[in-house]
Chains A and B, each alone.
Chain A
Amino acid sequence: DAKTTQPPSMDCAEGRAANLPCNHSTISGNEYVYWYRQIHSQGPQYIIHGLKNNETNEMASLIITEDRKSSTLILPHATLRDTAVYYCIVRPYSGGGADGLTFGKGTHLIIQP
């Protein structure tokens, strides 16, 4: 079962920053926070992941609270092509292999023109 809570849907105006929240209050010390998105009829797309420090890449920024119980994915300048379902996933990492991902229901982000 997914260990994260996300709002089912959000709207954001094109060109503005989209801030997607995620609660993961039961996260363990060896668990990472991953974000993926799924655009209709495509495979999930990896966005970003982090452990405790904030992370930024060419797609987005990930802000993780100091207690690690919640995080926010930030798309700095949303475009219509960012309309998708966004999944926040807590993934254990045992260090010896590659554990899989458990997807919840995600947040359906709709970018409005």
Chain B
Amino acid sequence: NAGVMQNPRHLVRRRGQEARLRCSPMKGHSHVYWYRQLPEEGLKFMVYLQKENIIDESGMPKERFSAEFPKEGPSILRIQQVVRGDSAAYFCASSLGGPRPSPLHFGNGTRLTVT
């Protein structure tokens, strides 16, 4: 059973370009979470999605960032007009959800470098 798959593992973008980060959850998981980890800092929650719905985006910057989890295909975190401060590791996690507590399982992240 494959774990959470994120790609690309490393992404380099110039300032002003767009970054698209993809996340395929574990098989059977319908809940997806995105986290960001700045260099030498802790993990910060960004957004929580279920299929076709954003449930909680309280951690998302108000501008330039968006996320989706379509009915078919991976979840996408999109960063428009990237700036140097966006350089970080972005982690995706998935869980089963449902009536019993279900652990989040994380991918190995996408490391975004903005030059």
Interface residues of A, Cβ cutoff 8 Å to B = 32, 34, 38, 41-46, 49, 91, 93, 95, 97-98, 100-106
Cα-based distance from A110 to B109 in the complex (angstroms): 23
Instruction: For the complex, give the distance between the alpha carbons of A47 and B35 in Å.
Output: 18
A44 close to B101 (CB less than 8 A): no
Main secondary structure of the interface of A (DSSP, over half): loop
How many of chain B's residues touch chain A, expressed as a range? 20 to 34
- Whether the Cβ atoms of A98 and B97 lie closer than 8 Å is yes
Distance from A9 Cβ to chain B, minimum over Cβ atoms (Å): 15
A102 CB contacts on chain B under 8 angstroms: 45
Residue with the greatest number of chain A CB neighbours at <10 A, chosen from B4, B102, B103, B108:
B103
Q: Does B95 contact A (CB under 8 A)?
A: yes
A95 and B104 contacting across the interface, CB-CB below 8 Å: no
Q: Which residues of B contact A44 (CB under 8 A)?
A: 43, 91, 93, 106
Known: A34-B103, A42-B108. A98 touches B96 (CB 8 A): yes
* Known A43-B91, A43-B109, A95-B99: A100·B42 in contact at CB below 8 Å: no
State whether the Cβ of B48 lies closer than 8 Å to any Cβ in chain A.
yes
Interface centre among A93, A100, A103, A104 (most CB of B within 10 A): A100
Chain B hits for A41, CB < 8 A: 89
Select from chain A the residue with minimum beta-carbon distance to B102.
Answer: A98
> Which residue of B is nearest A105, CB measured?
B42
CB < 8 Å: which of A49, A100, A105 contacts B101? A49
What is the CB-to-nearest-CB distance from B33 to chain A, in angstroms, rounded to a whole number?
5
Nearest residue (CB) in A for B45 is A100
Residues of A near B45 (CB, < 8 A) are 100-102
Nearest CB on A from B94, distance (A): 9
